Amino acid sequence: MKIKGTQLFVKALIEEGVDTLFAYPGGMAIDLFDALYGETAFRVVLPRHEQALVHAADGYARATGKTGVCLVTSGPGATNLVTGIATANYDSVPLVCFTGQVPTNLIGNDAFQEVDIVGICRSICKYAVTVRRREDLGRIIKEAFYIARTGKPGPVLVDFPKDIQLALGSDEYPKEVSIRSYKPSTGVHMGQLKKAAEMLASAKRPLFLIGGGVNISRGGEAMTKLAEQLSVPVVTTIMGKGALPTDHPLYIGNMGMHGNVASNTAVSECDLLFSIGTRFNDRITGKISEFAKNAKIVHIDIDAASISRNIVVDVPIVADAKEAIEKFTEIAVPPRHGTKEWVERLQELRAQTPIAMNTEGRLNPQDVIAAVNEHFPEAIVTTDVGQNQMWTTQFLQLRGRSRLLTSGGLGTMGYGLPSALGAKLGVPDLPVVSISGDGGFQMNEQELATAVCEELPVVICILNNSYLGNVRQWQEMFFGGRYSCTCLKKRKSCAQWCSSPNAQCPPYIPDFVKLAESYGIEGIRVTDRSQIAQAFERAKATQNKPTLIEFIIDRELDILPMVPGGNPLSEMITQYKKEGK
């Protein structure tokens, strides 16, 4: 039977098992939306901005492990996806993004809402393609889903011209896919794995460094089992956090720029760094020549291009993290010198140098996140980018099905709220908490409407210091307190060289409680630590709609410890004395 391209599109989504489509209509997608009208096989969600739309699909994908699917129109609809696609690409999130396009005979004519979105996205996605012939449509969609979710997962963009949407053609959606130029690596090189096992057996101070790859491959349980079997301590990157339960005795903490002292010391002192699923990004390594200087390095990663790129490794292994961990568990034996002393030293160090904020009894982010831990023992937590993100990665506990969703690679402000909505849609039975700063929240605050319309009871936390706090911290530490464009309360009439809050500052820009009320939801302002528990209790009791909680925190708090960019991990700033404030 001959059917339209739009009908094959709907059929393809059903066959791919899509249960949620994130979609925003427009002129070049209107036929596709007509085909979706009344469709009951999946849920169609309408966010309020295409950037938030793709972040929502991303949050859905990270929370569920399934592929997030987006549909937007051509031109501005498509270009609004760009930041979200790059975000997903950096953090290896499987997405398939469909963009409407002007008819093929108008491509290149500078037609209304025409843009070369494939050209724009080429370097920020895993694969991008324009459907040029109706007979290719089924194959291209099949390939898009396959490419997005296999190997190192990532976003795929399918540009879908209007004439192809309308053209009649075969109703067959392919069952099989075979791409001669794309063969994701499978299996594990056992010889290399044995070599790694020998190195581990003879190591005196071995350390696992776990990156986001382990979480992407759902390898957390296998990893926990392996660490326990070998009694080898574990540190994680922020993307790897949660691979081991954070209260596990072998888990030392996050390492890197804002990691804890014990974890960064562990990396500097270990004699074997067994790393799995990390890119050794500059935020992780600090000064490259000093990184794990005393250690042999084993590196397992699905992406050959990540191996020996930033850090030269001794044993490279290209493999899926979970598969490699499971195979390694079969052959690995505990280090023959024993690890008791080494583990105890790190545990002691961790106990002696906890990350702690002291605000003399005033409300601080640590209190807020401790309360999240207490009120939501199992939850999906999303963050924005900056101080709110770093504090969350420092204090959040993850156990059981808990997950942390954060824009690690690209560092995209505005990610927190929409990704929380996607996560809640994908995993409705778990509480979902978003933690943002007041800066990042304002980048996608329009998504309160989506949360209301989709009846999503997410708990929206805003840590409000009225600053772009992370940049402000750098300006304070490294730029002599010259707060250039970081105060979110600064008005035209303010003194030009103001460098600290004072009595003339306006109270709220904006008033988030009133903003919440304007969407018909409860907004709670917390100014004292005694009010935290009650606010979370109210949020938990709220059904079918979100609750916004604004925490007014000290304006000039810092994230510590900190390894300034380019410094060795051993040189951490653990205390910072504020001058005259």
Partner 1 sequence: MDNTAKKRWVSLYVENDVGVLAKISGLFSGKSYNLCSLTVGETEDPTVSRMTISLFGDDKTFEQIIKQLNRSVEVIKVLDFTDLPIHKKEILYIKLHSLRRDEMEDVFRSASVFGITVTDYEKGSLILECVKTESENDDVIKYYKKHFLSRMEAVRGGSVAIESVSRSDR
C-beta of 66 vs 309, nearer to partner 1: 309
Mention every residue, 6+ apart, whose C-beta is less than 8 A from residue 306: 278, 279, 280, 299
Sign of CA dihedral 145, 151, 154, 159: negative
* One of 17, 108, 119, 187 touching partner 1 (CB under 8 A): 119
C-beta of 133 vs 225, nearer to partner 1: 133
The verdict on 304 binding partner 1 (CB under 8 A) reads yes
The verdict on 181 binding partner 1 (CB under 8 A) reads yes
Mention every residue, 6+ apart, whose C-beta is less than 8 A from residue 105: 163
Helix axis angle, 50-64 to 416-426, nearest 10°: 50
C-beta of 33 vs 182, nearer to partner 1: 182
Nearest-approach distance from CB 304 to partner 1, in angstroms: 5
C-beta of 302 vs 526, nearer to partner 1: 302
The verdict on 289 binding partner 1 (CB under 8 A) reads no
Nearest-approach distance from CB 152 to partner 1, in angstroms: 8
459-464 and 432-437 beta bridge pairing? parallel
The verdict on 551 binding partner 1 (CB under 8 A) reads no
Decide: 85 and 124 in contact? Cβ < 8 Å: yes
Decide: 254 and 263 in contact? Cβ < 8 Å: yes
**Alpha-carbon radius of gyration of the chain:** 25
* One of 168, 305, 333, 485 touching partner 1 (CB under 8 A): 305
Residue numbers 424-463 binding partner 1 by CB under 8 A: none
The verdict on 288 binding partner 1 (CB under 8 A) reads no
b/e per residue, 462-486, with b = 16+ CB within 10 A?
bbbbbbbbbbbbebbeeeebebeeb
Decide: 298 and 325 in contact? Cβ < 8 Å: no
Decide: 546 and 425 in contact? Cβ < 8 Å: no
C-beta of 119 vs 400, nearer to partner 1: 119
Going by the DSSP 8-state scheme, the letter that residue 234 receives in this structure is E
The verdict on 538 binding partner 1 (CB under 8 A) reads no
Residue numbers 308-337 binding partner 1 by CB under 8 A: 308-309
- Which part of the chain contacts partner 1 (CB under 8 A), choosing from 187-195, 267-275, 303-311, 351-359? 303-311
Could you tell me the two tokens for 356?
Answer: 């702690």
C-beta of 152 vs 162, nearer to partner 1: 152
C-beta of 128 vs 563, nearer to partner 1: 128
Nearest-approach distance from CB 270 to partner 1, in angstroms: 24
The verdict on 179 binding partner 1 (CB under 8 A) reads yes
The type of residue at 300 is I
C-beta of 88 vs 526, nearer to partner 1: 88
* Closest C-alpha among 545, 242, 250, 532 to residue 378: 242
Nearest-approach distance from CB 481 to partner 1, in angstroms: 35
Nearest-approach distance from CB 161 to partner 1, in angstroms: 13
- Within the chain, what is the greatest distance between any pair of CA atoms? 78
C-beta of 19 vs 116, nearer to partner 1: 116
Mention every residue, 6+ apart, whose C-beta is less than 8 A from residue 22: 45, 47, 53, 54, 56, 57, 60, 68, 69, 70, 71, 422
The verdict on 132 binding partner 1 (CB under 8 A) reads yes
Residue numbers 139-168 binding partner 1 by CB under 8 A: 147, 152
Number of residues that bind partner 1 (CB under 8 A): 21
Decide: 161 and 101 in contact? Cβ < 8 Å: yes
Decide: 1 and 30 in contact? Cβ < 8 Å: no
The verdict on 108 binding partner 1 (CB under 8 A) reads no
Q: Is 305 exposed, middle or buried (0-12, 13-18, 19+ CB in 10 A)?
A: exposed
Provide DSSP, 460-519.
EEEEE-SB-HHHHHHHHHHSTT---S-BTT--TTS-TT--S--TTS-S-SS-HHHHHHHT
C-beta of 180 vs 492, nearer to partner 1: 180
* One of 89, 130, 246, 285 touching partner 1 (CB under 8 A): 130
The verdict on 178 binding partner 1 (CB under 8 A) reads no
- Which part of the chain contacts partner 1 (CB under 8 A), choosing from 98-106, 126-134, 451-459, 506-514? 126-134
| Stretch (H or E) spanning 222 | helix 220-230
The verdict on 491 binding partner 1 (CB under 8 A) reads no
* One of 9, 24, 98, 127 touching partner 1 (CB under 8 A): 127
* One of 126, 322, 375, 545 touching partner 1 (CB under 8 A): 126
User: Checking phi first, is residue 476 left (phi over 0); if not, alpha (psi -120 to 50) or beta?
Assistant: alpha
C-beta of 182 vs 508, nearer to partner 1: 182
The verdict on 120 binding partner 1 (CB under 8 A) reads no
The verdict on 182 binding partner 1 (CB under 8 A) reads yes
Nearest-approach distance from CB 123 to partner 1, in angstroms: 5
The residues that touch partner 1, with contacts defined as CB under 8 A, are 118-119, 122-123, 126-130, 132, 147, 152, 179-182, 303-305, 308-309
